[in-house]
Amino acid sequence: MEVETQEALSTSLRVVASKKQVACALAEEVVILEFNSGKYYGLNAVGARIWNLIQEPRIVSDILNIILSEYDVEPDRCERDLAALLQELAEHGLMEIEHEKDS
């Protein structure tokens, strides 16, 4: 199962925010309401930046490079944290993963 998770979050994949949600910025954070479940989710400032980046389809490696250029973070940690956030967004129906062959 771990292999599937890593494969699903390949840096060559394109991701985009789901249309089945509504989000609101609060200071530097974002609150998201997912329509199907009616649950709210909150993102801190870095998560909010990533959320803003995926409002349009974007390649994961591009997101990684942007975050590395804007924040003082080790590349390995950034990649792990980004993968974890994107996986969580996808699991909650807040983001869609488009495989290369889907393009």
pLDDT string in tens for the chain (103-residue length): 233 344 447 888 999 999 999 999 999 999 999 999 999 999 999 999 999 999 999 999 999 999 999 999 999 999 999 999 999 999 999 999 886 554 4
Q: Does residue 99 lie within any of the structural domains?
A: no
Residue 87, domain extent: 2-93
Q: Does residue 45 lie within any of the structural domains?
A: yes
Q: Does residue 101 lie within any of the structural domains?
A: no
| Residues linked to residue 21 through DSSP beta bridges, in sequence order | 34
Q: What is the number of structural domains in the chain?
A: 1
pLDDT recorded at residue 99: 67
- Side-chain half-sphere exposure of 89, counting CA atoms within 13 A: 31
Q: Does residue 18 lie within any of the structural domains?
A: yes
Q: Does residue 100 lie within any of the structural domains?
A: no
pLDDT recorded at residue 4: 39
Distance of CA 69 to the CA centre of its chain: 17
Distance of CA 86 to the CA centre of its chain: 4
- C-alpha 38/C-alpha 99 separation (Å) is 27
- Side-chain half-sphere exposure of 103, counting CA atoms within 13 A: 12
pLDDT recorded at residue 98: 83
